[in-house]
């Protein structure tokens, strides 16, 4: 029996952003297990390899997101142990704010299988392009919004701040799918302790299709909770100008 292996591949945020090496990994795999944010991206992956199965259903069948991630890792490992060359493909960069990709690789390696990750285009790479900001200009801090609010890490207002996963801010139970605007207002209050209330911030969502444009909602920080927020929303807080 052939020895199983695992390639964790990145599909990019939008159609057309998958790298040549990730595309080959998808096409050549014995089985592809996918987690795509966008149905068109899911269809595109399935067209590359008909042996594609979505792992998305675990979100619905498990009590919370942590349990869903664990079920995804279990399913990936079942096929690796069965001797298949498995490609697990995640949207964006598979290693950026993704728990099951890292856990699957760690588990596969712990069991003696070859396991690698192929990098890709993440949401912050799109943000840099669409907002025209250079992380090298002032520095670039990146946090998961809920963890940022709960842990209150020391951060630097003279560098840009990127907060991911606004839609699950305030969700201690890892179950919610809809944004909690009271939690967003509480985050705004916290940030207003460090920035002027009228500091201009952007709620950013990259386009996933070439026919669409990115969504960039500019607002004053104090009005953050009046913005429209969904699963794609990433908050960009520009650096404060140094006196």
Ligand X SMILES: C[S@@+](CC[C@H](N)C(=O)[O-])C[C@H]1O[C@@H](n2cnc3c(N)ncnc32)[C@H](O)[C@@H]1O
Report yes or no: 206 and 185 within 8 Å, Cβ to Cβ. Answer: no
Report yes or no: 87 and 18 within 8 Å, Cβ to Cβ. Answer: no
Residues 57 and 1: their CA atoms lie apart, in Å, by: 30
Task: Give Cβ neighbours of residue 171 (< 8 Å, ≥ 6 apart).
Answer: 146, 180, 183
Active site residue 236: no
Q: Which is nearer to ligand X, 24 or 142 (CB)?
A: 142
Among 206, 221, 225, 227, binds ligand X (CB under 6 A): 206
Neighbours of 177 (CB within 10 A): 11
Catalytic site residue from 23, 91, 143, 204: 91
Residues 167 and 107: their CA atoms lie apart, in Å, by: 29
Active site residue 81: no
149 touches ligand X (CB under 6 A): no
34 touches ligand X (CB under 6 A): no
Which pair of tokens denotes residue 148? 């940022």
160 touches ligand X (CB under 6 A): no
The closest residue (CB) to ligand X is 92
17 touches ligand X (CB under 6 A): no
Task: Count Cβ atoms within 10 A of the Cβ of residue 206 and give its class: 0-12 exposed, 13-18 middle, 19 or more buried.
Answer: buried
Least distance between ligand X and beta carbon 112 (Å):
27
Residue 115's DSSP bridge partners are: 6
83 touches ligand X (CB under 6 A): no
164 touches ligand X (CB under 6 A): yes
Report yes or no: 96 and 118 within 8 Å, Cβ to Cβ. Answer: no
Catalytic site residue from 23, 65, 204, 236: 65
Which pair of tokens denotes residue 154? 């020391």
Which pair of tokens denotes residue 170? 């305030």
122 touches ligand X (CB under 6 A): yes
Q: What angle do CA 70, 37, 28 make, to 5 degrees?
A: 75
Of 25-33, 66-74, 181-189, 200-208, which segment contacts ligand X by CB under 6 A?
200-208
Q: Which is nearer to ligand X, 129 or 223 (CB)?
A: 129
Active site residue 91: yes
Residues 103 and 57: their CA atoms lie apart, in Å, by: 19
Of 48-56, 96-104, 111-119, 216-224, which segment contacts ligand X by CB under 6 A?
96-104
52 touches ligand X (CB under 6 A): no
Q: Which is nearer to ligand X, 6 or 98 (CB)?
A: 98
Residues that bind ligand X (CB under 6 A): 13, 37, 90, 92-93, 96-98, 122-123, 164-165, 167, 204-206, 208, 231-232, 234
Residues with catalytic roles? 65, 69, 91
């Amino acid at each position: 029996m052939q020895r199983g292996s695992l390639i964790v591949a990145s599909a990019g945020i939008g159609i057309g952003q998958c790298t040549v090496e990730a595309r080959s990994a998808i096409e050549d795999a014995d089985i592809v297990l996918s987690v795509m944010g966008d149905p068109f991206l899911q269809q595109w992956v399935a067209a590359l390899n008909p042996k594609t199965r979505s792992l998305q259903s675990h979100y619905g069948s498990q009590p919370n997101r942590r349990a869903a991630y664990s079920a995804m890792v279990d399913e990936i490992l079942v096929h690796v142990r069965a001797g298949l060359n498995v490609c697990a493909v995640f949207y964006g960069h598979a290693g950026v704010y993704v728990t099951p990709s890292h856990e699957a690789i760690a588990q596969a390696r712990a069991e003696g299988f070859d396991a690698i990750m192929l990098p890709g285009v993440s949401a912050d790479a799109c943000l840099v392009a669409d907002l025209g900001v250079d992380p090298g200009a002032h520095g670039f801090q990146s946090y998961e919004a809920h963890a940022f609010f709960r842990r209150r890490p020391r951060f630097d207002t003279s560098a840009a701040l990127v907060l991911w996963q606004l839609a699950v801010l305030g969700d201690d139970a890892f179950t919610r799918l809809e944004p909690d605007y009271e939690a967003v207002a509480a985050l705004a209050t916290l940030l207003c302790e460090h920035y002027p209330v009228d500091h201009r911030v952007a709620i950013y969502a990259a386009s996933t299709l070439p026919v669409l444009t990115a969504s960039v909602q500019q607002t004053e920080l104090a009005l953050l909770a009046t913005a429209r927020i969904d699963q794609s929303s990433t908050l960009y807080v520009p650096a404060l100008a140094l006196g």
